[in-house]
Amino acid sequence: MKKILGTMCALLVASFAVQPLAAVAADKQKSDEKTEASAEDAELPAVPASLKDKKFVLPVKLNTKASVYFIYQSRSTCGICVAEAPEIVKIYRSMHGKDAELVMLNIDANKDVAAKWAKSSKMKFPIVAPGEGKGVPFPYTGQGLLPCMVALDADGNKLGEANASGVAAFLADWRKMVRDLKKEKKAKAKEEAKRLREEKKAADSADSEEES
């Protein structure tokens, strides 16, 4: 009898020892799942999010719904930048409020110099103040020539780049970039839908075989 009681006690002790470990593992799994879900919920378009708390040279409204963003680095002491500015301003008028946005990362000496140039050149696009560009996606890989520009989708994926006298022509192609990006997304959505249909068909077929 004593031997039986001893065995039962040992089993109970082992059971209580295992249960907390299992509970900890379960809690950890739930915590990991919750963290992953929170990360997905917190995911924001890279470009608009990176510009959210920046200081701008002039009070202009940023288009946070654009599908293509042109990030443009320039300054008033650059001869090519100044020469290109009127054409950049002209092109921006055609894209303002549409499905593309132009944002300048100004690298002048200070905000006052940047503001003076922006006003004299009639720049109406968002201009990030000097020293405020950190964290804004700018995956430029060309030579160190100004001005320079990269095109990104809202998630920060690079679509192309240009520099020096090629910047205005690159920006002028914004409609084609928007169209190409929409076509690409539509094709990917179509491919994903096809994949899901094929998976469902395979699953239905497997269920039918099991039933038979």
Q: According to the model, what pLDDT value does residue 200 have?
A: 82
Q: Which of 25, 43, 61 is the last residue of a domain?
A: 43
Q: With a cut of 70, say whether residue 193 has pLDDT above it.
A: yes
Record the tokens describing residue 89, joined without a space: 């301003």
Q: Does residue 14 sit in the same domain as residue 83?
A: no
The angle subtended at Cα 53 by Cα 34 and Cα 60, nearest 5°, is: 135
Whether pLDDT at 82 is above 80: yes
Residue range 34-54: mean pLDDT, rounded? 64
pTM exceeding 0.75: no
- The pLDDT value recorded for residue 194 is 79
Residue 62: the pLDDT is: 94
Same domain, 22 and 124: no
Q: How many other CB atoms are there within 10 angstroms of residue 195's CB atom?
A: 10
Residue 209 domain-assigned (yes or no): no
The pair of structure tokens assigned to 41 is: 């919920």
User: Is 98 in the same domain as 170?
Assistant: yes
36 and 64 in a common domain: no
pLDDT per position as a tens digit, 117-170 = 999 999 999 999 999 999 999 999 998 899 999 999 999 999 999 999 999 999
The reply to whether 72 falls in a domain is yes
92 with 165: CB under 8 angstroms? no
Residue 62 placed within a domain: yes
In a domain, 188, yes or no: no
In a domain, 59, yes or no: yes
Per-residue pLDDT for 103 more than 90? yes
For residue 44, is pLDDT > 70? Answer: no
Q: Is residue 194 part of a domain?
A: no
pLDDT-derived band of residue 115, with 50, 70 and 90 as boundaries?
very high
The pLDDT of residue 145 is 92
Residue 203 falls inside a structural domain: no
Q: Which helix (H) or strand (E) covers residue 151, if one does?
A: strand 148-153
Could you tell me if residue 130 is inside a domain?
A: yes
Q: How many domains are contained in the chain?
A: 2
Query: Model confidence over 169-189: pLDDT tens digits?
Result: 999 999 999 999 999 887 787
* pLDDT the model gives residue 191: 79
Full domain range(s) for residue 12 = 1-43
Of 31, 51, 47, the residue nearest 39 (C-alpha) = 31
For 129, half-sphere exposure in the C-beta direction (CA atoms, 13 angstrom radius) is 13
19 or 158: which leads in pLDDT: 158
